[in-house]
Amino acid sequence: MIYNLPFMTVIALIAIGMYAILFRRNLIKIAIGITIVESGVNLFLITLGYRKGGIAPIFTNLPPGTTPEEIPGKMVLPVPQALTLTSIVIGVAVLALILSLAIQIYRNYGTLNAEKVRRLKE
Amino acid sequence: MNLMEHLPALIIAIPLFAAFLTPIIDRFSKKGRDAFVFIFMALTLILVVLLAKDVFDSKVPITYVMGASDPHQTIPTQSAVPIRIILEIDAMSIFMVIISILISFIGLIYSFSHIKEGGGKFYTLFLLMLVGMIGMELTGDLFNLFVFLEILSISSAALIAFEIKRETSFEAAIKYIVISSIAALFVLFAVGLFYGEYNLLNIAAIANAMKFTRIDKIALILLFSAFVMKAGTAPMHMWLPDAYGEAPGAVSMVLIATTQASLYALLRVCFTLYNESLPIIMPATLILLGLASIFIGVTMALVQNDIKRLIAYAAVAEVGYIVLAIGVGLYGFLKSGEIEGYGIKALQGGIFHIFNDVLDVGLMFLVAGGVIYMTKERNMNKLGGLAHSMKYSSILFLIGLAAVAGLPPLNGFASKLMIYESIYKVSPILSIVAILASILMLSIFVKIFQSIFTGPKVIEANEVPKCMLAGMIVIAGLIIFFGLFPEMIVKNLVEPAVNALLNYGEYISAVTGV
């Protein structure tokens, strides 16, 4: 049960983020919603990397008494961590772009309300 | 070192390298910057042609392992599964790469004439957009696909907002980036699900291990909705007319190629990743989405006043044709029997139409961009009589509109005929809707032609600059060539691509060896 807690947090974060994206009208809040969904997905990736009894893949840092034969089954493949780092970096870029566009929209339209930012519809 | 061996990596690396050097060269000389971008784009084009020759010569997909001492060793010696990022190129991917690079190259030539201020930034983003597209089409790794999807989204959002003097461009760009980042997060979540289930990221290796459990079904829904959203089909098409309408000049045309990179990812997911285990509801959904896109695209195009938005709605309808044909093709692929042959024909039509769509609608966007550049006016009701002063543009527009409406002997007719004569086997209603929409499209474009180009002179304007004209003429030439010799293109480019999609076993065994 306790091991499922991270997965429940993931679901909760994604649900909160999607709620903000779908039902909030403020552009900044939509940006925050996207960030929350992204944190949920990143947490999911990190949680997948957990292996019970696994050790970090650093050879100089092995616990004393580990024989070379035991290593392959114990060391954790650091792929999910690498994926998460990449996705965090991409997330920062996307967030910066959304916020800079929101600033420009505020300058031009005088509002951040997505329902009023619709000059293209006419 | 044998450079020919590293072609797939070079095709991604060269534009990426050029993208980050462009702003530095821009500081010293504008002319030098243009020449630099042109040379590197031409170099990439040559490399793509060389790679295409390799792919068509070898019957199996070409694999390239990033960062390995031997780029052909897909599975490391001490491991049982592929770990490194693998680029995998079969006839389908190279078909899409040829489209991307050709369209970007023509778009670049067109842009030389009107991108004056901030050109360094423009060409950097333009090259990054190309990198994103090509990367999505070359990669054989799901996470890598996500990374290139994000590179593509960020650079195209910035390009949509490029004309900062038009304040509405920000509105279009924020819509685009929000939709794109949600789609990308869906893809990332699906990648996580696959990694949790199979400990794999490689498309071919996952397809080999595919058990179609409940987790895979969730991942299928996530991937499917993400790529359908990015391709701009009907229920999620709202971002598309805004983005295409606001983007400067040739970027609208290149954006069509970017949505088709998403369609390529969708094809890869359906035909390679899930292949036979796909439920029959997927082709049905695709057919419905295609019909809805055709319907909404054509009806919304009728009521537009802005030329670029009107063409953008026509682009929605054209994507609908492709999705409809892919849906029928997928239906034939999953069901065996008589329908299978029709499915293959529909798939050929759909994939041929990918190329034709970007040429036809792209030409319309280029002409519309030229008209807007010369007259500074995008409302059709205020334009008129331009044929007096813009002779070449009006003739090129006429070619484009005939091709979009599917009139013989142009390329739109060749691929649409293939679609009509195969989809009726699923239901005759599909063909009827498709043909009716095509006729409506003709009436819409005749209306625009009449209101912009014919009649008395309303606005003083000159012919568009030479670079613009060159880009348009190249595309018009391709349209006529494809229309006169469709058999040649179908036989040499489209059929290998369709066969590569249908023989998914080869794609899988090129990596896993089984």
| CATH classification of the domain holding A90 | 1.10.287.3510
Report the distance separating Cα B404 and Cα B479, nearest Å: 10
pLDDT at A61: 75
Is B157 within 8 Å of B27 (Cβ atoms)?
no
Q: Do A34 and B185 touch (CB under 8 A)?
A: yes
Cβ-Cβ contacts under 8 Å between A and B: the total is 89
Q: Which B residues, 59 through 98, put their C-beta within 8 Å of a C-beta on chain A?
A: 83
Please tell me the total count of domains within chain A: 1
- Residue B300 counted as domain residue: yes
- Residue A25 counted as domain residue: yes
Question: Which residue of chain B has the CA closest to A40?
Answer: B189
Q: Do A101 and B168 touch (CB under 8 A)?
A: no
DSSP 8-state symbol, A75 = B
- Residue A28 counted as domain residue: yes
Is B304 within 8 Å of B292 (Cβ atoms)?
no
Distance from CA of B157 to the nearest CA of A (A): 8
Query: Low-confidence residues of chain B, pLDDT below 50?
Result: none
pLDDT at B1: 62
Is B118 within 8 Å of B489 (Cβ atoms)?
no
CB-CB: which of B153, B172, B188 is closest to A41? B188
Please name which of B304, B310, B328 lies closest in space to residue B421, comparing C-alpha atoms: B328
pLDDT at A40: 95
- Residue B3 counted as domain residue: no
B471 CB neighbour count, 10 Å cutoff:
28
Q: What is the pLDDT of residues A86-101, one digit of tens each?
A: 999 999 999 999 999 9
Q: Strands of B48-193 (E only): list them.
A: 62-65, 86-89
- Residue B380 counted as domain residue: yes
Domain span at residue A38 reads 2-53+75-121
**ipTM score here?**
0.93
Report the distance separating Cα B156 and Cα B25, nearest Å: 22
pLDDT at A121: 65
- Residue A68 counted as domain residue: no
Please tell me the total count of domains within chain B: 1
- Beta-carbon contacts of A85 under 8 Å, excluding residues fewer than 6 positions away, are none
Taking the Cβ of residue A37 and every Cβ of chain B, the question of whether any pair is shorter than 8 Å is answered with yes
Domain span at residue B242 reads 10-512
Asked whether residue A59 carries a pLDDT value surpassing 80, the answer given is no
Q: Do B178 and A105 touch (CB under 8 A)?
A: no
Is B475 within 8 Å of B366 (Cβ atoms)?
yes
pLDDT at B458: 77
Question: When comparing pLDDT for A8 and A61, which is higher?
Answer: A8
Residue-averaged pLDDT of chain A: 87
Question: Which residue of chain A has the CA closest to B176?
Answer: A98
CA–CA distances in Å: residue B174 to residues A101, B180, B304, B397, B401: 6, 10, 22, 31, 31
pLDDT at A74: 75
Tell me whether residue B460 is exposed, middle or buried, using C-beta atoms within 10 angstroms of its C-beta: 0 to 12, 13 to 18, 19 or more.
exposed
Work out the pLDDT band at A72, boundaries 50, 70, 90.
low
Taking the Cβ of residue B149 and every Cβ of chain A, the question of whether any pair is shorter than 8 Å is answered with no
pLDDT at B99: 94
> Residue B87, Cα to own-chain centre: how many angstroms?
19
Is B85 within 8 Å of B66 (Cβ atoms)?
yes
pLDDT at B304: 86
Is A9 within 8 Å of B160 (Cβ atoms)?
no
Full 3-state SS string of B444-486: HHHHHHHHHHCCCCCCCCCCCCHHHHHHHHHHHHHHHHHHHCH
